Amino acid sequence: MATYQQPNPRGPGGYQGGQRQGGYSPRGDDRDDTPTISLQGIVFGDKPAADLFSTQAERAAEEVSRASKEMNKSSQLRRFYDELVMWQEKVGNDDSKFSDCEPYIRMLKAKAAYAKGRKHVDANFRALFDRLIDQSTSAATLRQAKLFFEAFMAYYKIHRAQ
């Protein structure tokens, strides 16, 4: 004997309106996952650009500060900065220590992705932070990432207040 089954009001597959199409998110949020920040000037290495910790950091801070007031709160960004500082202090100038810690340093990208998923940070901050971690390939470049983030945070305080 067949039993009656209540039809799923969300349609086949559980999505509103049937199949998932047209960019519809089953979570109901219309977030824009496309960063608009330009990251070309943020390059670490043997001889960083003269404006890396000034013009480039300020430009990035200005772009990230444009997010809605619910995202990119300075306390949230400070958590990422604090963790990056912790890893940089642990590594110091020792490339072998960097190699030992590298998987955990790279894991910071997952933490940024999680924060974005929770709507604590926007796509621009995540793209910027991913760029900092991706450019950190040695103890020296990790130090440059920390210094860049330090300058970024200083400029961010100015631009977010406006």
Instruction: Decide if pLDDT at 26 tops 50.
Output: no
pLDDT band at 88 (very low <50, low <70, confident <90, very high): very high
**CA geometry: angle at 108 spanning 116 and 100, to 5°?**
170
Predicted local confidence at residue 21, as pLDDT: 46
Mean pLDDT confidence for 15-22: 46
* Residue 39 resides in a domain: no
pTM for this predicted structure? 0.79
- Supply 30's token pair: 């219309």
Amino acid (one-letter) located at 16: Q
* Residue 15 resides in a domain: no
> First and final CA of the chain: distance in angstroms?
69
Residue-wise pLDDT for 41-82, tens only, equals 999 999 999 999 999 999 999 999 999 999 999 999 999 999
Amino acid (one-letter) located at 95: D
* Residue 120 resides in a domain: yes
* Residue 21 resides in a domain: no
φ/ψ of 92, rounded to 5, equals 65, -130
Do 130 and 109 contact (CB within 8 A), yes or no? yes
Residue-wise pLDDT for 109-162, tens only, equals 999 999 999 999 999 999 999 999 999 999 999 999 999 999 999 999 999 876
* Residue 91 resides in a domain: yes
* Residue 5 resides in a domain: no
Q: Which domain holds residue 142?
A: 72-162
* Residue 80 resides in a domain: yes
CA dihedral in degrees (137, 140, 141, 143; nearest 10)? 130
Domain count, the chain: 1
* Residue 137 resides in a domain: yes
CA dihedral in degrees (102, 105, 109, 110; nearest 10)? 90
Predicted local confidence at residue 117, as pLDDT: 96
Distance, CA of 120 to CA of 113 (rounded, Å): 10
